[in-house]
Structure formats: C-alpha cells, structure tokens
Amino acid sequence: MTDEVRALLGLWGGNVAAVQRELAERAALQSPQGGVPSLTTLRRAIRRDPIAGERAGLAGGEREARRHDVFLARPRGWRNQVWEADHVQAPVLVEVEGTAGRPWVTWFVDCATNTVMGVAVTPGYPSRESVLAALRASVLRQEPFGPQGGLPEKVRVDRGKDFLSKTVAAAFGALVVEVEDLPAYTPHLKGTVEGLNRAVESMFLASLPGYVRQPRPGRRPGRPKDEGLLDFEDFTSRLLGWVEWWNTCHLPQPLQGKSPLQAWEADPTPVREVSPEELWTFTLEDDGRVRVVSTRGVRFRRRDYVGPWMTGLAGTGVRVRFMPHHDHRIEVFDATTGRYLGAATVADEASPEQITAVRSARAARSRRLRKDLSAAQRERYATVTRPGKPERLGAVSAVEAGAELAEADRADLSRLALPDLIPPAAAPPGWRTPPSLAARTRRAAEDGGPAAQPGGREQEQGGGLR
C-alpha cells in the first residue's frame, strides 16, 4: 500500500477495481512493459495493510471512519455538574394550522443521572427563544417543571448559532454558568444528549401517526392520503408525558435499578437555585435603550405598548426587555433603579382572524412571486449527443422582443415619473385660494386654459357659476 494507492483509493471512494484500472493506465503511459498488480493482489494488500477504520475512511470519509473508533467514557460526576443541550427535529409530521410540518425539540439533560431537566417544543425552526424557554423549564423546580432543577456548573453545546447568540450567552453569564462550546461535527463529545435523541425516536416517536421513517409497501412508498396526523398540542402533550415516563419509570442500566429522577434526588450535592423573578429577568433580551412612558404608553418597534400599572408614570424613563419573536408582550423596568414595573401588551393588537387573513395574503403573494420568478428564470437547452456549446431553446420573434423591451422601458419610466413636476393650473378668479396653494400653481393665462377666461367652458355649455 503506497501513498499513490491510498490517494487513488480515496479518489475513487474505495472502488478497488477503479484503482487498478487507474494504475494500469498510468503504467501504460510511463512504460508499455511496466508491471501492474492484479486486482486480486491489490485487494489482498488493501485488506492486509490498512486497518478497518482507515479503509472505511478512505471509502466514506471521516464519519465512516469514526464508527470504528473507541471512545473513552467520562466519569459521571454529580448532579447539576454538567448539562448537555441540543436541538433535534422530530421525524413526525404534525398538523400546525392546517399545514403538516416536523416540530423541533430543545432539551437539557443532566449527564450524571440522565435526567431530562427541561423541554421546549417549537412548531418551526428553533431559535434563541427555544433555548431560553428550555433553560427556564430546566432551572425552575416549581410545577410543572420540578422537582429536578437548579443551576448547572457547566453546559455543553455544539456550535449552533442559537446556543451561542448574545442573548443566550448573556443569560448564562448572569446565571454564572460556564458554556463549553464543542467543535463542529463531534457528536461523540456530547454522547448523553445524542443518546437521548436516538432513544426518543426508537422508544416513542416511531409509534406515532405521521412517522416519516415508517416502512411503506410498494415500489414508491409514500404517506397515505387518509393518514390522520396529530395536532401540535396533542404532540406536545404526548412528548411531555414520555419525558415524565423517562424521568420516573425508565431504569437505565448504568443507574443500577434507579430511575433518572430517583438518582438525581438521591444525590446529596446541594442545588443552586434562583427565584422565578430573577430567572425571568436574566433570560430576556434587552434592546439597550432608555425610553420614556408617554400618555400613549411605551413606544417599542413602532408600536405602542400599554399596561394598567402605567397610570401616573408618564414621563418616567424605562428599559424594555422582551422574549425574542414575542412581539405581543414586553417587560418594562425602571431605567434608574432597575426595578421591575410590569408587563405591557400591544395597544391595538389585531384579532386572530385578522392575523390569519394577513398571513394567508402574504403566503399567496409569496407563491405568486416565486411562480413569476421561476417562470422568468427557467431556461431550456437542447439535448446533445456530441461535445458542443449549449443551445438555448425558446424562439422569440423580433416583434415580440421589441414589444417586451418597450413594455419594460415604459415600466421604468413610470417608476421615474414625478407627479409634482408640472404644477396644477390656477383656480378660477372668483375662488378663494389659500396662499400656500396659489404659490405652487401656474397661471392659467400662461397655460391658455379655460380657467383664465371668465366665460369658459361653463358659459359655452349654457351653464355658468351663480
């Protein structure tokens, strides 16, 4: 196994026959009488010299090579010493407002006891909001989150932008929690949460309707049209029920006959807790500005937010903290003392029916735009059987091309038109025109229009102003 053979084996993805042909072609170019090992000899050398992991890596890359590695197990430590966090997309189709989609699950798990500390479910793609919601559910020990909880000493995360956002980093810093950012594509470094991701699919999600990896009969398997899907509320309820079963009834082998929650409660390590008010403050995002309470409330992102506690506080400087993507509510704090004043909601919030209609209109407009853009960018080319330049299909006559270009020019000119370029004509002499309007009008005498003649079109028509 020379370096040349190793490079060719990686180039051809582990195809030994292709490597042997490449060697034969190179040998024929260098020396017609040059010897080349046979396919059997080459296979024997490849099976003998590289180890199994190296052969798998040359054929399938580093991920396949990692399957043959041996990993050391970390010591379990004590409760709340280290948590691991991750996002996982559930392989289950769930109905969300009439549309089938796959929700995302964000959770924190304790590495010492395998206890799921907190869960947050998002109908669409997760964000820093999902991380903050799951963090609050993990830290609080009140119903319905407890009895597990408290603050960890360290949290392991991958290089996800949601876990490394400024808001999440500020929350961990305020709670004095160390964040260990693992290298990319190293799932073996957070094996506890990765094992939970695999376990939830095989032990729970595979039995739900809408499971996308369910084996189907037929050559072209697909989801049956009459298959009933769970709605988002039902899916969330069942998932939280499974998490409770995992914490209280499941008996993992490393815990020696104890459930994760029993192992967590049996650990005598003190729990570092935080009050719900402080936790709510630390896990909100600050816009960084000082605002003033006016008679219309607090102005934030071009909206007015009001609350019953604002009575008598007009003119007070405040700071706004908010949950990302939750535009319907903000939390207001005193800008001088930092004291929490109360929550405020949108003053003229639209009804759910209006919001649904607006979203439907936006979706229809987006579909029309995508259709128009795809039609404009679609190019068809002729099929070739010999090497040559690509031939574009779709004949257009010179008349059609000229008409389309003229239409484009007219559209461009209409966008450049200035409605105030030509001032309006002056009013008739008998009218009382405001000075501001009279200064911006042109004299009717210069225009030669009928307004300059007292007996204009109205007298010609036999009418007149009386």
High-pLDDT (> 90) share of the chain, %: 22
CA dist 42 and 54 (Å) reads: 16
CA dist 331 and 341 (Å) reads: 8
Backbone angles phi, psi at 95, to 5 degrees: -85, 120
The pLDDT-based confidence of 202 (bands split at 50, 70, 90) is: very high
Residue 413: per-residue pLDDT: 63
Residues 320, 324, 329, 335, Cα dihedral to 10°: -10
The pLDDT-based confidence of 429 (bands split at 50, 70, 90) is: confident
What are the residues whose beta carbons fall under 8 Å from the beta carbon of 12, sequence distance 6 or more?
Answer: 18, 19, 22
Question: pTM for the whole thing?
Answer: 0.64
CA dist 163 and 38 (Å) reads: 54
**What end-to-end distance do the CA atoms of the chain give, in Å?**
111
Decide: helix, strand or coil at residue 128: helix
Give the burial class of 72: count Cβ atoms within 10 A of its Cβ; 0-12 exposed, 13-18 middle, 19 or more buried: exposed
Give the residue from 8, 39, 13 showing the smallest Cα distance to 26: 8
Decide: helix, strand or coil at residue 243: helix
Residue 205: per-residue pLDDT: 93
The residue among 368 and 194 whose pLDDT is bigger is 194
CA dist 103 and 89 (Å) reads: 6
Residue 67: per-residue pLDDT: 78
What does the pLDDT average to over 80-105?
A: 91
Q: Is the pLDDT score of 419 beyond 70?
A: no
Q: Is the pLDDT score of 446 beyond 60?
A: no
Cβ atoms 68, 55 nearer than 8 A: no
CA dist 458 and 382 (Å) reads: 68
Q: β-pairing, 99-101 with 230-231?
A: unpaired
Cβ atoms 82, 112 nearer than 8 A: yes
Residue 453: per-residue pLDDT: 43
Cβ atoms 79, 113 nearer than 8 A: yes
What are the residues whose beta carbons fall under 8 Å from the beta carbon of 384, sequence distance 6 or more?
Answer: 390, 391
> What pLDDT, in 10s, does the model give residues 233-278?
999 999 999 999 999 999 998 888 999 999 999 999 999 988 887 7
Residue 462: per-residue pLDDT: 42
What does the pLDDT average to over 382-406?
A: 73
CA dist 256 and 246 (Å) reads: 15
Residue 279: per-residue pLDDT: 81
CA dist 163 and 181 (Å) reads: 9
Residue 219: per-residue pLDDT: 65
Give the residue from 156, 153, 147 showing the smallest Cα distance to 79: 153
Reading the block at residue 321, the tokens are 């903290």
Q: Is the pLDDT score of 448 beyond 60?
A: no
Residue 201: per-residue pLDDT: 93
> What pLDDT, in 10s, does the model give residues 27-74?
888 776 667 888 898 888 888 877 777 778 777 777 777 777 777 778
Residue 450: per-residue pLDDT: 45
Reading the block at residue 460, the tokens are 């010609």
Q: Is the pLDDT score of 151 beyond 70?
A: yes
Residue 199: per-residue pLDDT: 93
Q: Is the pLDDT score of 393 beyond 80?
A: no
What does the pLDDT average to over 365-381?
A: 74
Residue 188: per-residue pLDDT: 79
The pLDDT-based confidence of 389 (bands split at 50, 70, 90) is: confident
Beta-bridge partners for 83: 110, 155
Residue 110: per-residue pLDDT: 95
Mean pLDDT (the chain, rounded): 81
The residue among 168 and 352 whose pLDDT is bigger is 168
Residue 159: per-residue pLDDT: 76
The pLDDT-based confidence of 445 (bands split at 50, 70, 90) is: very low
Cβ atoms 90, 104 nearer than 8 A: yes
Whether residue 254 is preceded by a cis peptide bond, meaning omega within 30 degrees of 0, is no
Cβ atoms 91, 100 nearer than 8 A: no
Q: Is the pLDDT score of 200 beyond 90?
A: yes
Cβ atoms 221, 215 nearer than 8 A: yes
What does the pLDDT average to over 353-359?
A: 69
Residue 34: per-residue pLDDT: 61
The pLDDT-based confidence of 370 (bands split at 50, 70, 90) is: confident
Residue 267: per-residue pLDDT: 92
CA-CA distances (angstroms) from residue 61 to 10, 44, 163, 264, 446? 8, 22, 28, 40, 83
CA dist 414 and 436 (Å) reads: 28
What does the pLDDT average to over 128-145?
A: 85
- To 5 degrees, how large is the angle CA 165–CA 332–CA 179? 25
CA dist 178 and 428 (Å) reads: 80
Helix residue ranges, H only, 204-292: 232-248, 260-266, 276-282
The pLDDT-based confidence of 354 (bands split at 50, 70, 90) is: low
Range of lowest pLDDT (114-118, 178-182, 202-206, 346-350): 346-350
Cβ atoms 321, 286 nearer than 8 A: yes
